[in-house]
Chain A
Amino acid sequence: MREPVVSFDGVCKSYPLYHHVRGIKHLLFNFPRNLKAMKSMQYEAIRGISFDVYRGEQFGIIGHNGAGKSTTLGLIAGVLKPTSGRVVVRGRISPLLSLGAGFHPDLSGRENVMLNGILMGLTRREILEKLDEILDFTELGEFIERPIRVYSSGMLARLGFSVVAHLDPEILLIDEVLGVGDIRFRQKCAKKIREFKRSGVTMVMVSHSVDGIARLCSRAMWIENHTMQMIGDAKEVVAAYQAANADEADASDPVNEDFAGVEL
């Protein structure tokens, strides 16, 4: 059972900081200098991270803004390539579910479901078989025929999660999305996620609602300052993370309790 489906081995990811060299003028006039500058000016978003995620596991990633969580998910999804180190993924990956507009803003929800599924690697036939089930799950009603640029962020999240959850991925990547759904949808998602647990779908989720991570995930990783601070049992990692941020957390504690019942 302890079969790793995602393995990171000493992974570093640097982003180039060369936005100011983007123009041809700069490129031509400062060519030799810029080439050198481009190589040296890198921003390390992730430094030497190694971990494994095992089959059927619900794995959480927590950490401060800009710590490198989304970068880690991008590396798993294969849209980013590591600068050094090795990323091995065994299994079919879902599209990265993240905040913001889904696929094409001018296409309707229904058309986006189709595009989304085909991008995942399914064929039109396979998606048509499940289309009704997916559209039902979104509960978007007549909005499904409207262009998604008029959707609210919660509606986009509904659409995104519904597609991804119904097309049988083996590895599900979720970046923050579920936080914007309403209570009812979160409960629905929580139910779906529990189903995933039973059917052995691996899930990697990033969230700032650490209570949700503690409840839904079996293991978690805490990324601090672009390196791995701690990995292990989700509840222990979350507790350590909260303890480390106790000063700031004090003030917001009552707020946390307010949301405690419905958090994912």
Chain B
Amino acid sequence: MKAIDLGNHRSLENYRDLLIILVQKEIKVRYKNNVLGYLWSVGNPLMFAVVYFFAFKIIMRVRVEAYPLVLLAGLFPWQWFANSVGSSPKIFVAGSSIIKKVNFPRHIIPLASVLNHMIHFCFSLPVIIVLLLFYDKVPPLSWLYGMPIQIGVQLMMLYGISLLLASLNLFVRDIEPLASIIIQMGFFFTPIIYTEDLIPERFQHLIPLNPAAPLMINWRNLILEGTLNFQYVLISFGYGLLFLALGYSVYKKLAHRFAEVL
């Protein structure tokens, strides 16, 4: 008989294949269940941009130049963030059939989910580029290092948050509505539909208290101007580490009981 590792002894190749197949599964399931598939992940921010443009530019007359572009440079990364956090409480519940049958490193399921959302974001980059060109802007060269930094930091943060919420939700089922409320509030407390310089002076020093704010500010500046505020990069990296540590330690504590509460 061939010596194949099963159960706890997995080869690196198996880990890689496991991650690939789980990400593929998420993408397939997402696209199989709706006809428009890819259009949804691009269309959603576009439609909301129209709504916000109407409400804030046409009705409330905010003074922001190239407001549609400002909106989209915030909405695309935010959609990645919000979708990932919003779907995270259900990750282990949705994987219950495999969790109850096989002993494998469960933390790989949230990792697959986070990567799946990242892929959707990457698919929306061409749309952003087209819009930049439409406004006579060229995608800056600094994207070459700026994008990997921003994507990496956001991945860390989202993986940590997903591990945390997905694990907790098995034991305290209110996590899901709670997460969706926090995301909705976070949207308005983060400079997405407004720019950070519109925030009054006396609140400026509070920006770093919101884990999403430094990240989102950097996203918009990177997309529109090609600049990164490295202080903000460090702060979001710090949040990333914090969430990873928190998420992983909570996961570690609870993981051995997943199968019995599912």
Contact = CB atoms under 8 A, between A and B. Distances in A.
Interface of A: 15-16, 22-25, 27, 74, 77-81, 89, 91-98, 100-104, 106-107, 111, 114-115, 118-126, 147, 167-170, 199
B60 interface: no
Interface residues of B, number: 39
Interface string B7-22: 1111101100110110
A92 B172 contact: no
B6 interface: yes
Contact of A121 (B14, B97, B260): B14
Given A103-B97, A126-B4, A168-B4, A111 B25 contact: yes
Contacts of B259: 74, 79-80
A154 B252 CA distance: 37
A106 B4 contact: no
Contacts of B103: 77-79, 93
Contacts of B178: 24
13 contacts: A23-B172, A79-B103, A92-B5, A103-B97, A104-B97, A104-B98, A115-B25, A119-B101, A119-B102, A122-B4, A168-B1, A168-B2, A169-B6
Contacts of B29: 104, 106-107
A95 B13 CA distance: 19
Contacts of A96: 100-102
Given A79-B101, A121-B4, 4 more contacts: A16-B261, A95-B101, A96-B100, A104-B97
B231 interface: no
Nearest to B255: A81
Nearest to B12: A123
Contacts of B4: 92, 121-122, 126, 167-168
Contacts of A102: 97
B171 interface: yes
B52 interface: no
Interface in B63-107: 97-104
Contacts, number: 113
* Smallest CB-CB A-B distances: 4 pairs: A92-B6, A78-B103, A121-B6, A79-B259
A15 B173 CA distance: 18
- Which of B10, B33, B101, B257 has the most chain A CB atoms inside 10 A of its CB? B101
A74 B104 CA distance: 13
A95 B14 CA distance: 15
Nearest to B169: A22
A122 B14 contact: yes
B225 interface: no
B30 to A, nearest CB: 10
A176 to B, nearest CB: 13
B172 A22 contact: yes
Contacts of B101: 77, 79, 95-98, 119
A40 to B, nearest CB: 17
Contacts of B32: 106, 147
Contacts of B171: 22
A118 B18 CA distance: 6
A69 B259 CA distance: 16
A199 B1 contact: yes
B25 A79 contact: no
A90 B2 CA distance: 16
B102 A79 contact: yes
Given A23-B172, A114-B21, A170-B6, A123 B98 contact: no
Contacts of A111: 25, 28
A125 B20 CA distance: 13
Contacts of B9: 92, 121
B256 interface: yes
A147 B29 CA distance: 10
Contacts of B17: 118, 123-124
